[in-house]
Structure 1
Amino acid sequence: MTLVEVQPRRNIRGEEYVSKFPLSQGKIPGLQGPKIGLTETIAISLYLARLSNTACLLGDGSLEQEAQVISYVSWANEELLNTLAKWYLPLIPGFTHPPPYNQETVESGKKQSLALLNKLEEQIGSKAYLVGDSLTLADIFLAIFISRGLEWVLDAEWRETHPNIMRHFLRFADIAEVKEVVPHFILIDKETANVDPYVNN
């Protein structure tokens, strides 16, 4: 497998990429194999997990656990990430195609995010893993999307009041294979202020 490093929302939508994946509108990720071309994060993740299921990333092999894993993955991708993005995404500078900034919309995204994360804190409880007794795609999706919030808005004060989420995240971040890809996750000390990052830039 050949990996191509990209930065989301920066210098995307190249002609070559769009020609391979016309429905993608230039959005990443994309996977081109000998017999398949795929876009969409969940589809690619499920395909790769099933290519070699030695890591049991879809659970213990039962239909029930696989369904639970996919449920968490879908929730994290559709609900958690989209809700968090309403808060942090308009605050990030340097995008090729920046999202629109509106102070009230960002504040609403923050309120929705905090409420959703409080529910997640209760849901995780004392569990080491979201499904079963080992790491699955559910844990990977959750931790990666939480990391985006931790980088921009989920600051030290928030982390102190959400020990279950942080325990789950830090367990993931400490996995050797994860460290090979992301040696160090950024944890912001103070949340990014709700101001337009493109004003006077």
Structure 2
Amino acid sequence: MALVLHSTANKNANKTLIVSEFNGVKVELAKDFQMGVTNKTPEFIKMNPIGKIPVLETPDGPIFESNAIARYVARLNPDKNLFGSSSIETGQIEQWIDFSTNEIDAHISAWFYPRFGIRAHLPPAEEAAIASLKRGLEALNSHLASNTYLVGHSVTLADIITVCILVQGIKAILIKSFTSEFPHVERYFWTLVNQPNFKKVLGDIEQAKSVPPVSTLKHGQPKEAAKPKPKEEAKKEAKKEEPKAAEEEEAPKPKAKNPLDLLPPSKMVLDDWKRLYSNTKTNFREVAIKGFWDMYDPEGYSLWFCDYKYNDENMVSFVTMNKVGGFLQRMDLARKYAFGKMLIIGAEAPFKVKGLWLFRGTEIPKFVMDECYDMELYEWTKVDISDEAQKERVSQMIEDAEPFEGEPLLDAKCFK
């Protein structure tokens, strides 16, 4: 029997369908499949006890879970090397499949689903999802800066699964201003989706123009159909509504602008600096650091050192790193207006946490001080760039210079 994929056409089904195009194994979508109907039948439940899609029907029995199905089909034609040509390549392919599932797909879904009313929308959870997604995309972007594909020199299963994950995000919520922070990911994505085997399944991809508003439908609350009213009652209500229809609707109040958007234009373009920082891989001091000081505008931006007030409590390395990671997640509200470096210093406990922040404006933005409670856990000192020692300290912190002030770095985290 042919391989039959029981599913609607979606991100998870596309993984297997693209694999089938690459390795020449025929996979057919089940005919007349209806989500919510077909997957509740006894026949389907025998294939997947929890009724989720996709499910692949094979001569030897069914397989469910989309990555498992894609792996199975990829292995049916080993000559195509979709699973690599060596043990290390196979391990790296598995690595990137897990990475894209856990570090990209999970966070796209956590941002995407609540916006469409599929899950409850909680602003702090959304902020955390966006921050985590950016971290994943930064790591992917860094790898792709020197690699055309995730593993080796041709398309593998890792690329197929990663691209299918990115397709959903880019079509639904990842607008250009968001993805432009990750130029190597953009190049990789648009190159692959335009390859024939991808395009045959995915068709033309159009990037979302705006982040969708939060659905007005409450999570878990289905829309109720309006009950028909008696004709006489309906006529009376129509008459009551006539005067309202003639009235001019009140114009919606414009959204208040962030005070930082009202500042005079600055010669420093923050996104230009972030791109320079991200893309400089060699001669960092000569290229990125020099570029920073050439761009820096002390009238439009300010630099600040921060020192954690309670370093004597930093006795466990991973707890200290998580503490700093949480701070950076909560700072996501300032991403448009800030760049930061956080250093965790020391070879042994207690570890010191010190940071450098670049903020739009000549003071730390008030909304950041008000809304990010971590700010009060640090001592903040404005950088005096006329002091060459302070200026050099700024350069060292941007560069992750080691040793820093005589001590090794345990970790260095960037907010950009």
Q: 1:14 aligns with which of 40, 56, 60?
A: 40
Candidates 152, 174, 195, aligned match of 1:175: 195
- 8 Å CA contact 2:6–2:57 kept in 1: the answer is no
Q: 1:134 offset after TM fit, Å?
A: 0.5
1:92 aligns to 2:116 (yes or no) = yes
- Name the aligned partner's letter for residue 156 of structure 1: K
Q: Tell me, which stretches of 5 or more residues in structure 2 are unaligned?
A: 11-33, 224-416
Contact 2:144–2:185, Cα closer than 8 Å, also in 1: yes
Q: Deviations over 1:33-91 (max 9, x none)?
A: 1112111122211111111123211112x111011101111221233211221111211
2:173 to 128, 143, 153: 153
Matched residue, 1:134: 154
Scaled by the length of structure 2, the TM-score of the pair is 0.43
- List alignment gaps of at least 5 residues for structure 1: none
Alignment check: 8 A CA contact 1:90 1:100 kept: yes
Cα distance, 1:21 vs structure 2: 1.4
CA contact (8 A) 1:87 1:108 kept: no
Tell me which residue corresponds to 1:54. Answer: 79
- TM value normalised by structure 1: 0.85
Aligned to 1:42: 67
In structure 1, the partner of 2:323 is none
Where does residue 67 of structure 1 map in the other structure? 91
CA distance in 1, matches of 2:70, 2:35: 24
Q: In the superposition, relative to structure 1, how do residues 70 and 197 fare at CA in structure 2: closer, same or farther (>3 Å)?
A: farther
Measured in 1, the distance between the counterparts of 2:44 and 2:150 equals 35
CA distance in 2, matches of 1:145, 1:121: 15
The letter of the residue matching 1:21 is N
SS in 2 for 1:2: strand
Letter in 2 for 1:64: I
Distance 2:166 2:113 in 1: 13
Q: Distance in 2 between matches of 1:100 and 1:26?
A: 23
Shift of residue 104 of structure 1? 2.5
Distance between the aligned counterparts of 1:45 and 1:124, measured in 2?
23
Helix, strand or coil for the counterpart of 2:4?
Answer: coil
CA separation in 2, counterparts of 1:163 and 1:130?
15
In the TM superposition, what is the alpha-carbon distance from 1:5 to its structure 2 partner?
4.9
| Counterpart selection for 2:207 from 183, 187, 192 | 187
| Superposed counterparts of 1:26-37, under 5 Å | 26-37=51-62
Letter matched to residue 96 of structure 2: Y
Which of these residues, 100, 117, 132, is aligned with residue 112 of structure 1? 132
Say which structure is richer in strand: 2
Give the Cα separation in 2 of the matches to 1:29 and 1:156: 30
* Contact 1:129 1:168 (8 Å CA) reproduced: yes
**In structure 2, C-alpha distance between the alignment counterparts of 1:67 and 1:43, rounded to whole Å:** 15
Residue of structure 2 in register with 1:198 after alignment: 217
Q: How many residues align?
A: 192
Change (3 A) 1:4 1:20: closer
Distance 1:121 1:129 in 2: 11
CA distance in 2, matches of 1:123, 1:47: 27
| TM-superposed deviation, 1:101 | 2.6
CA RMSD after TM alignment: 2.2
Say which is worse superposed, 122-131 or 107-116, in terms of deviation: 107-116
How has the CA–CA distance of structure 1 residues 36 and 5 changed in structure 2, closer, same or farther, with 3 Å as cutoff?
closer
Over the matched positions of the two proteins, sequence identity in percent amounts to 23
Question: Aligned partner of 1:14: which letter?
Answer: K
Judge conservation of contact 1:76–1:145 (CA < 8 Å) in 2: yes
Q: Measure, in 1, the Cα distance between the counterparts of 2:192 and 2:173.
A: 20
Deviation at 1:3, TM superposition (A): 4.3
